[in-house]
Amino acid sequence: MSSSSSSSLASPVPSLGKATSTKTMVSDQISQAVLSTSNLLHIMLQSSPSQDKLVKLPKNLLAKASTINNTRQVLEQMPLVISSLDAHMDHGLQSVPHLETVTRLLSNIENNQLKPLTDSQLPSEESQLDTRTPPQ
The string of pLDDT tens digits covering residues 109-128 is 888 877 665 555 555 555 55
Residue 30: the pLDDT is 83
Residue 27: the pLDDT is 78
Residue 54: the pLDDT is 64
Q: Residue 85 and residue 90: Cα distance in Å, rounded?
A: 9
In three-state secondary structure terms, 17 is helix
Q: What is this structure's pTM?
A: 0.34
Task: Please give the residue range of the domain that contains residue 33.
Answer: 2-132
Burial class (CB in 10 A: 0-12, 13-18, 19+), 45: middle
Which phi and psi (to 5°) does residue 119 adopt? -65, -40
Q: What is the CA radius of gyration of the chain?
A: 37
Q: Look at the chain and report how many structural domains it folds into.
A: 1
Distant-in-sequence, close-in-space partners of 125: CB < 8 Å, separation ≥ 6: none
36 or 59, greater pLDDT: 36
Task: Report the residue count for the chain.
Answer: 136
Please determine, for residue 4, whether its predicted confidence score (pLDDT) is greater than 50. Answer: no
Q: Residue 63 and residue 120: Cα distance in Å, rounded?
A: 77
In this prediction, residues 87-98 reach a mean pLDDT of 89
DSSP letters spanning 63-120: HHHHHHHHHHHHHHHHHHHHHHHHHHHHHHHHHHHHHHHHHHHHHHHHHHHTS-HHHH
Residue 119: the pLDDT is 56
- Phi/psi region, residue 56 (left: phi>0; alpha: psi -120 to 50; beta: rest), is alpha
In this prediction, residues 101-116 reach a mean pLDDT of 84
Residue 104: the pLDDT is 92
